Amino acid sequence: MSDRLVAAEDGDRAQLLLVGALSLAIALVAVALVLNSAIYTHNLASRQDTPSDDVVTFTRDVRASAGGYLDSANRNEGVNGYGAVGNTYAGGLDGVAGTVDDRAAVDVAATRVGHVANSQVRGVRVVDAGGGTFQPRTGPSEFPADTWVVAHAVRVRSFRVDVEPSDLGLLDQLGLGDAEDALQDPTSDDVFVVEFTDDVATPSAGETWRVAVYEDGDGDPTVGVLELGSGITRTCSVDDSSVPDPLTLDLTGARFGGQACAPLSFVDDLPDKYSVKYYEADEIEGSYELFADLSVDGAGDEAGVFTDGVDALNYGEHCDGPTYWAGTSGDYPRVVPAYYATDLSFRYESPDVTFVGTQRVALAEPGPAPTSPRVQSVDVTDSSGASSDLEFEVDVTVSDPNGDLDSLTVEVIDDDGDVVDDADYDDSDPELDGDSADVSPSLTDDEDDEGPYTVRVTVGDDAGDEHVVNQTHDADGDTSGCPA
């Protein structure tokens, strides 16, 4: 055999080996593709069919439905007091349960929804539906009527401002630089500004956010947002040719004109309690509404813990003013009894999963639920008599969402600033065992009976958070709760 023939045979074998290797590689790739496709399909199907997804959907639907019904009860029954709101809401949960049960039945699941007894958090609905400017009930000389505290030391939810397109002409047209100046100094320009701060008396950098409403250089309705001290203003605008009716600024939902507005997302990072203030409230017209987690005394009475703080800041003491009308009044702005939050119990049971739990219901509440303590009510009974020494019985209710109440102090302070009597409680006392407490100390003073006196209530928790409420009283036997 010649050398040329041997070489040809070796080349044929090499080609056969190469073709075989390529065929094997192609076959392995095909097998891998088939396996990967099967794995992907299985994972996708698993994600779609995971029982936990059904529970998440169920709890989300329950919370949203119950939250909507709670606020419907707040708006319709608030003028009749907290009891009416609570009864209407609890009765309506049967309808919520029926709706979600019908949906769950499609997945062969059984559900149960109920109200957790005594879980209601009393609050207020602050509403101005008068269609005018955003000014308080009264405006004494102590402060300009267009700059005022709307809510103090609270958490708020469902905070919306609605402006009719016909009223947009009231908005100033500003360039970005002018808008930044207005946010740095809200009293320097005719621009409506909403301020969120944890210290309304002395706003400071890193603790205060301001939102301005104006028109930009193109005439488009705009919101500018500034964190005090950052020097950076971020904006959202609505095209002037397609302004919705009404134009809604959703301050707790971070939306403007029906669209997501990322600069407003700061609301998720607000502290546990803060104050809300309006500047230049006569530079805008329309309506607004918010829910806050401190209470008033009841239907037809604008007094209470919520308005104590607001009136004291706006007018000098809680007895002056008042800032708001009572809930049964037809005038605005007004405060109306409302439940800020409540808890639901639920059970979801299907062939694949059983889940039992509770849900907090607080529609459009930004960020996590509050954890710091609150003074829920203060009721002072003056039994001093016109010529006798001071004698106040102070009925106080406090609460803490985490159940870690640590301290409670009730003090009476005379007009010289001296504490004349006090009652102290700590977590070793039975009164502070749990997530709420009611105390009724009797406080006296046999040396100074002139007054006026300040009744100060301070509640604290294990984390060091506090809430303070002050009321002013004369020791004259008058039960009005305010100096003569």
222-247, pLDDT tens digit by residue? Answer: 999 999 988 889 999 999 999 999 99
Q: Is residue 367 part of a domain?
A: no
Residue 35 binned pLDDT confidence (cut-offs 50, 70, 90): very low
199-215 pLDDT per residue, tens = 888 888 778 999 999 99
Instruction: Kindly state whether residues 184 and 212 are assigned to the same domain.
Output: yes
Question: What does the DSSP 8-state code read for residue 301?
Answer: B
Instruction: Kindly state whether residues 190 and 151 are assigned to the same domain.
Output: yes
Closest CA to 261 of 235, 290, 227: 235
37-80 pLDDT per residue, tens = 444 444 434 444 455 677 777 788 888 889 999 999 999 999 99
Three-state DSSP at 22 gives helix
Task: Give CA–CA dist 481/484, Å, rounded.
Answer: 9
Task: Give CA–CA dist 439/57, Å, rounded.
Answer: 42
Task: Give CA–CA dist 426/461, Å, rounded.
Answer: 10
Point out which residues pair with 405 in neighbouring strands: 461
Q: Is residue 433 part of a domain?
A: yes
Residue 340 has pLDDT above 90, yes or no: yes
Q: Is residue 1 part of a domain?
A: no
Query: The pTM is what?
Result: 0.85
Instruction: Kindly state whether residues 354 and 394 are assigned to the same domain.
Output: no
> CB–CB of 453/412 below 8 Å?
yes
Instruction: Kindly state whether residues 355 and 382 are assigned to the same domain.
Output: no
Tell me the CATH number at 417: 2.60.40.10
Instruction: Kindly state whether residues 293 and 400 are assigned to the same domain.
Output: no
Q: Is residue 20 part of a domain?
A: no
Please give the mean pLDDT across all residues of the chain.
85
Token representation of residue 280: 């230049």
Task: Give CA–CA dist 480/174, Å, rounded.
Answer: 48
Task: Give CA–CA dist 220/257, Å, rounded.
Answer: 11
Task: Give CA–CA dist 309/458, Å, rounded.
Answer: 13
Task: Give CA–CA dist 384/414, Å, rounded.
Answer: 15
Distances (CA, A) of 357 to 58, 335, 362, 445: 12, 33, 16, 50
Q: Is residue 262 part of a domain?
A: yes
Task: Give CA–CA dist 317/410, Å, rounded.
Answer: 18
Alpha helix (H) ranges present in 292-398? 305-315
Task: Give CA–CA dist 1/126, Å, rounded.
Answer: 108
Instruction: Kindly state whether residues 92 and 129 are assigned to the same domain.
Output: no
Phi and psi at residue 71, to the nearest 5°: -75, -25
Instruction: Kindly state whether residues 137 and 262 are assigned to the same domain.
Output: yes
Domain count, the chain: 3
Instruction: Put the strands of the sheet holding 274-279 in their side by side order.
Output: 148-154, 274-279, 192-197, 208-215, 221-227, 233-237
Instruction: Kindly state whether residues 110 and 147 are assigned to the same domain.
Output: no
pLDDT at 41: 41
- Which range has highest mean pLDDT (90-94, 100-104, 171-175)? 171-175
Q: Which residues constitute the domain of residue 160?
A: 121-339
Point out which residues pair with 297 in neighbouring strands: none
Token representation of residue 170: 């009231």
Q: Is residue 197 part of a domain?
A: yes
Instruction: Kindly state whether residues 214 and 279 are assigned to the same domain.
Output: yes
Token representation of residue 117: 């007894």
Task: Give CA–CA dist 209/225, Å, rounded.
Answer: 7
Q: Is residue 154 part of a domain?
A: yes
pLDDT at 230: 87
Q: Is residue 280 part of a domain?
A: yes
Instruction: Kindly state whether residues 61 and 191 are assigned to the same domain.
Output: no
Instruction: Kindly state whether residues 65 and 148 are assigned to the same domain.
Output: no
Instruction: Kindly state whether residues 100 and 141 are assigned to the same domain.
Output: no
Length of the chain: 484
360, 391, 420: which is the final residue of a domain? Answer: 360
Strand stretches in 350-389, DSSP E: 354-361, 374-382
